[in-house]
Amino acid sequence: MTRAVFLAFEGIDVSGKSTQARRVAAAHDALFTFEPGDTPLGRDLRHWVLDAATPMEPETEALIMLSDRSHHVRSVIEPTLTAGRSVVSDRFFASTLAYQGYGRGVDLALLRAASDLAIGACVPTLTILLDVSLGVVNERRDHDQKDRFEAEDLSFHERVRQGYLELAQDDGWFVVDGAMSEGEVARVIDERVARLPW
């Protein structure tokens, strides 16, 4: 019997996560989902955590992200996997380590512990990191309206990018050069995900 697959896509702004996650989910009849905010409760949490006009401490930001994730895991991801359907998530726990840990400076060990509380045993079968430089981000960004993270300076995004790369090495993720053409990125990802037990 094949097990359901839980695949997570990670990366900084406009690295191509949503494009690839939706495509892979459709190809494997998996549920496409995203964080933060893909539940009724999550939509409210997303509003506050992304609203650049609402001052927020790094720890508060982390805990809202983890609240969204805890609810998302229990109300969407786990029930879907338990029913035998695979799940592809656009961002998951690695985003919190990268953004609130490496980006904001919240203690990584504490974040990992809190993350364990939020997700329980629900860990991805595979995490795919789409890595792009900030130069690529600048070229691709097509809007001026900025959320709390987009409004951060270059050094913040560079810390998040480097954090992702460090985590990818430590935790054995699949890293893809997101600066390649959309078709080339898709080809590299498809080659890897074809080996998963969909």
Ligand X SMILES: Nc1ncnc2c1ncn2[C@@H]1O[C@H](COP(=O)(O)OP(=O)(O)OP(=O)(O)O)[C@@H](O)[C@H]1O
Q: Which residues bind ligand X (CB under 6 A)?
A: 11, 13-19, 140, 180-182, 185
What tokens appear for 58 in the block? 């790094």
- Note whether 125 binds Mg ion by CB under 5 A: no
Q: Which is nearer to ligand X, 182 or 190 (CB)?
A: 182
Please report how close the Cβ of residue 91 comes to ligand X at its closest, in angstroms. Answer: 8
- Kindly indicate which of the ranges 18-26, 59-67, 106-114, 152-160 contains the residues binding Mg ion, using the contact rule CB under 5 A: 18-26
Residue 19 interaction partner, one of Mg ion, ligand X, none, beta carbon < 5-8 Å per kind:
ligand X
Q: Which is nearer to ligand X, 31 or 129 (CB)?
A: 129
Please report how close the Cβ of residue 128 comes to ligand X at its closest, in angstroms. Answer: 11
Q: How far is CA 173 from the centre of its chain?
A: 12
* Cα–Cα distance measured from residue 83 to residue 75, given in angstroms and rounded to the nearest whole number: 13
- Note whether 19 binds Mg ion by CB under 5 A: no
Please report how close the Cβ of residue 55 comes to ligand X at its closest, in angstroms. Answer: 23
Secondary structure, 3-state, 143-179: CCCCCCCCCCCHHHHHHHHHHHHHHHHHHCCEEEECC
Q: Cβ of 113: how many Cβ atoms within 10 Å?
A: 11
Please report how close the Cβ of residue 20 comes to Mg ion at its closest, in angstroms. Answer: 10
Helices and strands: H and E segment counts in the chain: 9, 5
- Note whether 18 binds Mg ion by CB under 5 A: yes
Q: Nearest residue to Mg ion, using CB?
A: 18
With residue 75 as reference, give the H or E element that holds it.
none
Give the interface with Mg ion as residue ranges (CB under 5 A). 18
